Structure 1
Amino acid sequence: MILFVVLLLGYIIILGGNSTIIFVTLTDPKLNSPMYFFLSNLSFVDMVYTTTTIPKMLSSFLSDVTTISVPGCFLQMFFFVQLSVTARGILTIMAFDRYVAICKPLHYTSIMTQRVRLLLILGAWSFSALCTLPAAIVTWQEPYCGPNVVRHAWCDPSSVRRLACADTSVDNMVSLFLAVVALLTTGVLILTSYVLIGFSISRMGVAQRLKAFRTCAAHLTVVTISYSSASFVYISYRVGNFSPEVRIIVAVAYAVLTPFLDPIIYSLRNKELRDSISRNLSRFRSAAVSTTKDINTVS
């Protein structure tokens, strides 16, 4: 029950924080820049990403039913990995957006048009599907005739692969290659964007440097946490000293950490977002007080 309560509270905060960001970016005219468009897409991905695993874990804690159908297992496995890569793709797009805003400010509006924004988001989803679908198809075609217990909190690719009754060396190579492509491609592009931003900032005055740093601070913090935690999970899976229980705890913490921290970091680091949330809360309070007065007057 302790695990259930902790996980449930974390899930509620993830849904509440990310849905708040989506709501204010869609309803506040002051938040119509490309950065907030990409942020709302990242929040949506974070919500769906955690929904692929946490509700099933919560129901297992309550009912002690820890089974899942074979199609459900493979769907969970595919969407968990695919949404993880999609989030990194959107983080890469946001790094490019910051690069254009800081290094090419006069051309920002002409470059980051509505059409370009939609194409970039579509590219992130397409890239994640290309990096996930081949490995999922190969794993699906493996014969499964022996043990049927996935020793993980959800249908993790490496845990499911261990249940196959055949040689999985090709499967392992395909999965490893695609994982490296997904992480290296997004990581190198983000790093390149920030190197170019760094060169541009070095030629600015002190006031401009501070403004540029504030613009990038939230995104850079999220990227650092995301890639650091992913690297730790990757190491824990391949170092023999880690027990299966520790790997599960590390994986669950990783799956929850970034979606949990994203809205908090952006809310704390971004004044425009904080002000928008405050305005909406004040509007809701005013509406609630007005409704209460109307009810009392009628009574």
Structure 2
Amino acid sequence: MFSGSIPALVTPFRDGAFAEEDFRALVDWQIDQGSAALVPCGTTGEAATLSKDEHFEVVRVCVDQARGRVPILAGAGSNDTRVAIGNVRAAQESGADAALMVPPYYNRPSQEGIFRHFAAVAEATELPIILYNVPGRTVTDIQPATMARIVAAFPDTFLGVKDATGQLGRVSEQRSGCGAGFVQLSGNDETALAFNAMGGTGCISVTANVAPGLCAEFQAAWAAGDRAGALALHDRLYPLHLAMFTDASPGPVKYAMSRVVPGFPTELRLPMTEASDASRAAVDAALAHAGLV
């Protein structure tokens, strides 16, 4: 269900409210440009600043606008297992095809606690789940042995992982523990090429918000065995991958969006703030390098 270039969509705001029409236009543009699936309400979508009602309204609008053209992978994690169960149910009710779930953050559970958390979600819900391992944000790392245990216990629920650990060896470890059919998606744009070489099948991407066509071409080139073409596209996009994190995300992303899609709102919700002058300069240079402006 999930492979190729999959943008973790920004959530546009105007005057403090969800900008539905901007978001609908973004969904259409992403699909037209070749994005293989969409992730509403992930980290880049400022999910941490959305109320529950807003969160699943964004998911519902994404599903409605996509109209079945691509799968929808809805952010649904929580550090409270009961809330996580409710989030997955709400994602399913909103029409999502699967949920993207981080392990419990802040609480710092043990590996046993991580397993029991996901077991409780699987036993209480029916929606397929992609695990999202991003210890740099959650301070919780799903170790390969724990991931293998989760998948072995619930093989029909846990389809794959978005791996943002930055540890490329994990791809091999997780393939060994979870099986060759377990979907592995890079959570880091700058290492997506190496991740695919290790056995990954795509990327849940920040850069694809800004350059969906180029990111889709990059993934398609790799999948077709065009290694030279994939490398050339990687080199073209690499400065942009780095520029997206020259300030707190998604500040640089929304600024870049406004350069590529004139009129796209750059508004963020506190505590997130707009990109600094230095960050904007880095984004401008990277957009020029990629041939996007």
State the TM-score, normalized to the length of structure 1.
0.28
Q: 1 or 2 for the larger relative contact order (CA 8 Å, sep ≥6)?
A: 1
Bigger-Rg structure (1/2): 1
Q: Which has the higher helix share?
A: 1
Q: Which has the higher strand share?
A: 2
